[in-house]
Amino acid sequence: MTDAQFRTTGENLSIACTLGTSSWADVPAVWFEEVHCYKYGKGGNPCVALPLPKCNPEKHAEGIMVGHFTQLMSDRSSFGACAVRYCRQPCQLGAKTGQKVLTVCNYAEGGNVEGTYPFSRRVAEQLSAIHPEIFEAAEDEASQQACRNTQKLWTEKNPSKKF
């Protein structure tokens, strides 16, 4: 493997509070759930991340995010590695005290590149057999402004929760 082999890298990060019953291996499944907020389109288009009917606000504490999902789905990435760190600092999960866990996954090539589709149309078509709502993000400026407004209202209605 040479340095020139990978021009870009992608990264997914997660910090969560666990009671010891979950595993770091559960994290990619949580990232995949972002499919419920996703419309297939180019990176940077605000209409790719929308509060669709199955989009769970509790899974999007910092606003609607779909970049974890698109990186997982990228057919540009051929290598990936993950690491997990259980932190000493406790956290609250409801009335119970849990443990913070940080998960980091890196990918090469990176899949989320502004102005490009994160994965091929072929992959999107296969995915749409299970999740038909993913087609297709609007690209005109009026629709993109409407998407920005929708995201802003959704974020105001669902403020960030810290643990």
Own/partner long-range contacts of 140-148 (Cβ < 8 Å, ≥24 apart): 143/47, 144/45, 144/46, 144/47, 147/45, 147/46, 147/47, 147/50, 148/46
Question: Averaged over 52-57, what is the pLDDT?
Answer: 88
Percent share of the chain, pLDDT over 70: 92
Residue range of the domain that includes 101: 3-140
**What's the DSSP call for residue 85?**
E
Residue 68 is assigned to a structural domain of this protein? yes
**Contact of 83 with 103, CB cutoff 8 Å:** yes
Residue 152 is assigned to a structural domain of this protein? no
Q: What is the pLDDT of residues 98-125, one digit of tens each?
A: 989 899 999 998 888 899 999 999 999 9
**What is the tally of structural domains in the chain?**
1
Residue 19 is assigned to a structural domain of this protein? yes
Q: Which amino acid is at 144?
A: Q
Residue 26 is assigned to a structural domain of this protein? yes
Q: Phi/psi of residue 159, each to 5°? A: -65, 155
Q: What is the pLDDT of residues 120-147, one digit of tens each?
A: 999 999 999 999 999 899 999 999 999 9
CATH code of 33's domain: 3.40.33.10
Residue 98 is assigned to a structural domain of this protein? yes
